[in-house]
Structure 1
Amino acid sequence: MTLLFLLIIALVVIFGIKDIRRQVISRPAFDFMKRVLPPLSQTEREAMEAGNVWWDGELFRGAPDWNQLHSYPSNRLTEEEQAFLDGPVNELLAMIDDYQIVRDGDMPKEMWTFLRKEKFFALIIPKSYGGLEFSAYANSTIVSRIATRSLSVAVTVMVPNSLGPGELLAHYGTQEQKDRWLPALADGTEIPCFALTGPTAGSDAGSIPDQGIVCKGEFEGEEVVGIRLTWDKRYITLAPVATVLGLAFKLRDPDGLLGEQEDLGITCALIPTSHPGVENGNRHNPLGMAFMNGTTRGNEVFIPLDWIIGGVEYAGRGWRMLVECLSAGRGISLPALATATGHMATRSTSAYCGVRSQFGVNIGEFEGVQEALARIAGNTYLLESARKLTLTAIDSKQKPSVVTAIAKYHMTELGRQVINDAMDIQAGKGIQLGKNNYLGLNYIASPVSITVEGANILTRNLMIFGQGATRCHPYVLAEMEAVADSDSDKGLARFDSLLMSHMVYATRNAVVSLFHGLTGSRFADKPVAGPTAPYYQQLTRLSANLAIVSDLAMLTLGGDLKRREMISARLGDVLSQLYLASSVLRNYEMDGRQQGDLPLVEYALESCLKEAREALAQALRNFPNRPVAWLSRILVMPLGNHHHGPSDDQAKAVVKAVSQPGCVRNRITHLCQLLDSDEGGVAEVEQAFLAQQANAPLYKALKKAQRAGQLPKRPVDAELLTLAQEAEILSAEQAEGLLAAQALVRKAIDVDEFAKL
């Protein structure tokens, strides 16, 4: 008791007396961080500071406020947005023949004219400049609907409404620039592209070699101060047809014409492609897709200073502009394409499983097929949930860079898995190309989404946790700033206060992690009752696990954690799965807790928990400091890992939910719009599926008669139906209906044929 009393007194003195605490605890920690933390480059700092923290901050801190998640506004289309979907979008869908577009290498002229006329390139341009000024949710929904028919057309519409001149002008342009360009962009007179990526600077956009020199030159017959530009860019979508080029380059002012600073930094300018010296036109061939993608080059092209987006005062501020815009745009465009793939694959594959027979039974009855179909449908529910939650942030004028990086990486990877599973199930129907073979071009194009707007490998390994650990943590970024303070005494005083709060925070997360691990999270808070309540509790525990393991990783590895990409990426995976799982819970609530959706909800959540637990276990298994790894494992998984993914029964429940017509199947595939006049492959397999479902009792009667020996065991054809009429098993009208249904089935499972070459 005496020793315990002395220990308590010692702790009170050390932590309670500021001067002693600073010398014994804060000063050594302060000096340690100065040694181990690498200095942030200017581009790293700007990327770190761009955007803001949103729901990701709650998930990272160990105690998510689930009521806050539920308070975010639901996704709604305005009457004007819905009218655009019902009108121009449906008209466009009826015009699309994706196979022919890809064969021709371009959309037909009438489609280009239609897109301009109906302002498909002006979804985000303000109404005051002639644009539609739609919400991010409407933008995403429009692109997704189009993508279920043609990725080439969807990308063509997507790019002007993503990172590019329109968005940059709307946010940063001078009034003169807005008046000059936005109305022309809105009515399609001008077609924009934006050139960022070059041969030696892809995901590392901060290293672009393209250069502009401030100098004097001649423009429109007068000598003015301007910029002499040299650039070489590639992978630029719409470049071959663009009339106005947005360009990112590094700006230097060696003669001090703008001030004392020589290296001004990354700058963005807007240049008409008709300007002398601009080279646009050479095309790439992105896996055979028909969207315009190519190169742009220029050698010592002189432009006036007022072509800098935002004017001269924005010289050198281009990187911040790009990162902020990309942090929002990344959450709209590519996630829309991935979600569209999920909706199309779920609708077509669930229908195909109902009409394709092998060994005398529908392939949807084979458990191996059910396993893949459940994965398709579960991932599609996950994609739609993440799409909606991410768009909620953007429409709330948030720019959550970590959230959009999560959305971009994980949703495009989920899209790739969905199309792979759909190809496996539909087999011969999937591997052929043709007007009615709807999977092939989606499968071919899936790597495009993986590599653009930041390659997925780097997004996962460098961005999600790299930014998340500092931006979302309540103390780390502030501690880094305190350590970097040029006034050492002032920095130490601030660091001391932050460190004490940080220690309390870390202790709390350690205790909570261990307690929930020992009690199975049964005492964690839950904002709802019912079947989803335990998932909130498990995610609360996982949030505390991530918080304490991240703290221990940063404490023991310091700046080296940045280079330990395999470790940091796995911790980023935990944060990502927390985000994806919380989007599922929110979507279930926003949809009114539809009982029919529950199998999909549970399947998606079990998948997320499995992925998160495996990522955490792998991080600890490979953690270089073994004592810290053992301590972490005791705190976060004292009784082991009990999350192993969806059960077989859960997978079968998902298949049952999507294998019959109804509101559940319609809700999970609503982006895959089928029109009355449709003759494409998805419409054909859907019509066959509905016909078979409508005649299910008659098919059942035929099988019963075959088992009883009343009819021969053979496929349903005209001869069998004649025998069924003679045996009075079917009426003439019923036989005629089955014959029509079988014709639809044959049409649905057939693939396109072509004349011999």
Structure 2
Amino acid sequence: MEHGAEEKKSLATAEAAREAGGTNPSFLGELFMGRLRTGMIFPWPAQDPGEKAAGDAVLEKLKSFLEEHVDADRIDREKEVPRSVIEGLREMGLFGIKIPREYGGLGLSQINYNRILHLVASHCGSTALLLSVHQSIGVSQPVMMFGTEEQRRRYLPRLAAGAISAFALTEPGVGSDPSHMTTTAVPSEDGSAWLINGRKLWTTNGPIAELLVVTARTNDPEADRPEITAFIVEGKSEGLVTEHRCDFMGLKGIRNGLLSFHNVRVSGEDILTGVGEGLKLALRTLNIGRLSIPAFCGGVMKHALTICRIWGNERRQWGVPVGRHEAVAAKIARIAADAFAVDSLAWLGATFADRGEPDLRLEAAADKLFCTKAMWRALDETLQVRGGRGYETADSLRGRGEAGIPVERMLRDARLYLIGEGTSEILHLFIAREALDPHLKATGITSIGDPVDFKKAFRFYIRWYPGLLRPGCSASRNVSLPPGLRRHLRYVENASRRLARDLFHMMVRHGQGLQRKQMVLARLVDVGVELFAMGAVLSRAGSPQAPSGAEELADLFCRQARRRIGSLRREAYCNDDRRVYDLSRKVLEGEFPWLEENILCTWKGDDGIG
């Protein structure tokens, strides 16, 4: 099949699986259209006192358990979360945090779920991921969202009691493009069941899972568009084998594997939400799953900030603490401001979920995109602040008599968060597609390659575009904020109008070819995400319940975000993207062999993937 036809098939498959937007607007989606909906994030959503007390009780018990029984460096060294730790988590009910009480779970909110993961991730990434995968994308979340009542009663009590679960989606040759999924499910000869055959890669919890959600193709492999179905599969099913346990740069304690399915028999009663609905289920599950990653990031960043604060005061260079040197102080201040933003976005995303917002795709993706990038910057700078001790392992530090501060492990563990549940690059494209959706509807484009309906487009843009040219602060005027923060909210409102104009200008310049201008789209997406983060910190800092110093942190974050936004906008219009792409093609075609001289690379390619 030609490259263009392959691309069209892949895009059509992804488009068919897109969720329809909810009846309520998306806050970030509205920003991309030049509208600041302050009512969606102001006033800051405080947690219900009774609900907070329930979360506090769990956190108090959990913190003691982590301190006394979870040795994160040992888990990293021995590549195993001990059975005693898993049993302790089960006894506290932490495998059923969000599962309703009627099914044996704790029945806690997304906010409390995030608070719990925040605490665990600050101490041990492997243990946090074990819990999160089981509940964020494992069997319990899809069953709660899509399962029948019979499926809920059959599986949720088991899951709440600690039956570990996983989600098997990715394949060795298939990443974010589901149109090439090769795992199949066909009816058995007697029609009483389905037989699954194929392989699934990078299935976290897979080797130890008692239950899995498995996606498989259920129509003819030669069909133009795959029909993907989701099945609940018992982990001990005959024909289900762990071929290989994967070992990673970090998160050494997770059990992640390459799974193979050889005529694995599954009842038709274990299909989730219907034949052919598996891809939509996967995408919606990932949307919810992404809300937990900012909680991880917040916990890790606060741990990093604590390390920087203590070290910045204790370590002396040239007669003063290192934290007093301006170069180090700049890093510490940025980590503090970014940590405040990450914490605010994590809370806001969880609040949207608890409210039952019908459409939080953009917010979940933006939270994950922003928070993982901010966390990575923070850990990189924390390692730099610690110097050689940051690069040294905790075991080595202890071995020579110093405190075993695990910056090196934290950095290794955290790198996955920029990849898992949607890479940063994929999230840029996802958010861009959603941001463009109102424009596609306004121009009459319903599928790839459709011609523009110019009359329809004219009627829309003749009303919409002139409104973006008038500077104003009508939305921000209705919000009560300290004077030092009000100007930042006015900036968000006017910048959202500029963003909407920029997006329109790029559509005019590139037409339907804009979908291939990934660097341009990524910059515009990052502008929108920065504005979203500014809105979150301003709402939180302006709240009567705001913690001490929140206004100062919010002001610094907004100042730095505004500089980043200015740089992104300039690069959207004036860049080297064409030259970058052309040079990349030449590298791929081997036109610079001398750049690869005098090295030893044992990999010659052609490893059979794809």
SS of aligned partner of 1:122: coil
Return the TM-score normalized by structure 1. 0.69
Whether the 8 Å contact between 2:105 and 2:160 is mirrored in structure 1 is yes
Aligned counterparts, 1:160-559, within 5 A: 160-188=134-162, 190-216=163-189, 223-252=190-219, 265-280=227-242, 282-288=244-250, 289-310=252-273, 314-332=274-292, 334-398=293-357, 399-434=359-394, 436-460=404-428, 462-470=429-437, 473=438, 476-477=440-441, 479-480=443-444, 496=455, 499-509=458-468, 511-512=469-470, 515=471, 525=477, 527-528=479-480, 529-559=482-512
Cα distance, 1:619 vs structure 2: 0.5
Whether the 8 Å contact between 1:236 and 1:293 is mirrored in structure 2 is yes
Whether the 8 Å contact between 2:199 and 2:261 is mirrored in structure 1 is yes
Count of matched residue positions in the alignment of Structure 1 and Structure 2: 556
Q: Which amino acid aligns with 1:322?
A: A
Give distance in 2, aligned partners of 1:351 and 1:469.
46
Deviations 1:458-498 (A, max 9, x none): 222x112122221xx4x543543679999x9xx97xx8566
Give distance in 2, aligned partners of 1:387 and 1:248.
29
Name the counterpart of 2:81. 107
Cα distance, 1:205 vs structure 2: 3.5
Whether the 8 Å contact between 1:577 and 1:612 is mirrored in structure 2 is yes
Deviations 1:406-451 (A, max 9, x none): 1111211111100011111112332222252221210112221111
Among 524, 528, 540, the alignment partner of 1:571 is: 524
Aligned counterparts, 1:65-104, within 5 A: 65-71=37-43, 73-76=45-48, 77-104=51-78
Give distance in 2, aligned partners of 1:224 and 1:483.
36
Give distance in 2, aligned partners of 1:306 and 1:349.
53
Whether the 8 Å contact between 1:239 and 1:281 is mirrored in structure 2 is no
Whether the 8 Å contact between 1:53 and 1:400 is mirrored in structure 2 is no
SS of aligned partner of 1:271: strand
Whether the 8 Å contact between 1:567 and 1:623 is mirrored in structure 2 is no
Give distance in 2, aligned partners of 1:393 and 1:604.
23
Deviations 1:642-696 (A, max 9, x none): xxxxxxxxxxxxxxxxxxxxxxxxxxxxxxxxxxxxxxxxxxxxxxxxxxxxxxx
Cα distance, 1:282 vs structure 2: 2.8
Cα distance, 1:43 vs structure 2: 2.5
Cα distance, 1:562 vs structure 2: 0.4
Matched, 1:54 2:19: no
Name the counterpart of 1:44. 15
Whether the 8 Å contact between 2:316 and 2:322 is mirrored in structure 1 is yes
Cα 1:96–1:250 shift into 2, 3 Å: same
Over the aligned positions, Cα root-mean-square deviation in angstroms equals: 2.9
Give distance in 2, aligned partners of 1:591 and 1:139.
24
Ranges in structure 1 where 5+ consecutive residues have no aligned partner = 1-36, 217-222, 255-260, 626-757
SS of aligned partner of 1:249: strand
SS of aligned partner of 1:480: coil
Give distance in 1, aligned partners of 2:448 and 2:474.
43
Name the % identity.
22
Cα 1:623–1:63 shift into 2, 3 Å: farther
Ranges in structure 2 where 5+ consecutive residues have no aligned partner = 1-7, 396-403, 579-610
Point out the structure with max Rg over C-alpha.
Answer: 1
Give distance in 2, aligned partners of 1:66 and 1:80.
30
Give distance in 2, aligned partners of 1:75 and 1:366.
39
Deviations 1:327-375 (A, max 9, x none): 122122x211211111101112111111111222111111111111111
Whether the 8 Å contact between 2:287 and 2:365 is mirrored in structure 1 is yes
Cα 1:40–1:105 shift into 2, 3 Å: closer
Name the counterpart of 1:643. none
SS of aligned partner of 1:131: coil
Deviations 1:614-663 (A, max 9, x none): 111111114999xxxxxxxxxxxxxxxxxxxxxxxxxxxxxxxxxxxxxx
Cα distance, 1:273 vs structure 2: 1.8
Cα distance, 1:168 vs structure 2: 0.7
Name the counterpart of 1:672. none
Give distance in 2, aligned partners of 1:144 and 1:39.
36
Whether the 8 Å contact between 2:118 and 2:298 is mirrored in structure 1 is yes
Cα distance, 1:58 vs structure 2: 2.8
Cα distance, 1:249 vs structure 2: 1.2
Q: Which amino acid aligns with 1:445?
A: D
SS of aligned partner of 2:228: strand
Deviations 1:592-622 (A, max 9, x none): 4556222211111012111112111111114
Cα 1:594–1:452 shift into 2, 3 Å: closer
Whether the 8 Å contact between 1:74 and 1:392 is mirrored in structure 2 is no
Give distance in 1, aligned partners of 2:25 and 2:217.
28
Whether the 8 Å contact between 1:129 and 1:183 is mirrored in structure 2 is yes
Cα distance, 1:131 vs structure 2: 0.9
Cα 1:498–1:135 shift into 2, 3 Å: farther
SS of aligned partner of 1:285: coil
SS of aligned partner of 1:234: strand
SS of aligned partner of 1:70: coil
Cα 1:126–1:253 shift into 2, 3 Å: farther
Whether the 8 Å contact between 1:382 and 1:584 is mirrored in structure 2 is yes
Give distance in 1, aligned partners of 2:65 and 2:199.
38
Give distance in 2, aligned partners of 1:270 and 1:483.
32
Give distance in 1, aligned partners of 2:147 and 2:19.
23
Aligned counterparts, 1:714-729, within 5 A: none
Q: Which amino acid aligns with 2:219?
A: R
Cα distance, 1:142 vs structure 2: 0.5
Cα 1:594–1:408 shift into 2, 3 Å: closer
Whether the 8 Å contact between 1:281 and 1:295 is mirrored in structure 2 is yes
Deviations 1:31-61 (A, max 9, x none): xxxxxx9996143132253677421133122
Cα distance, 1:563 vs structure 2: 0.5
Whether the 8 Å contact between 1:526 and 1:534 is mirrored in structure 2 is no
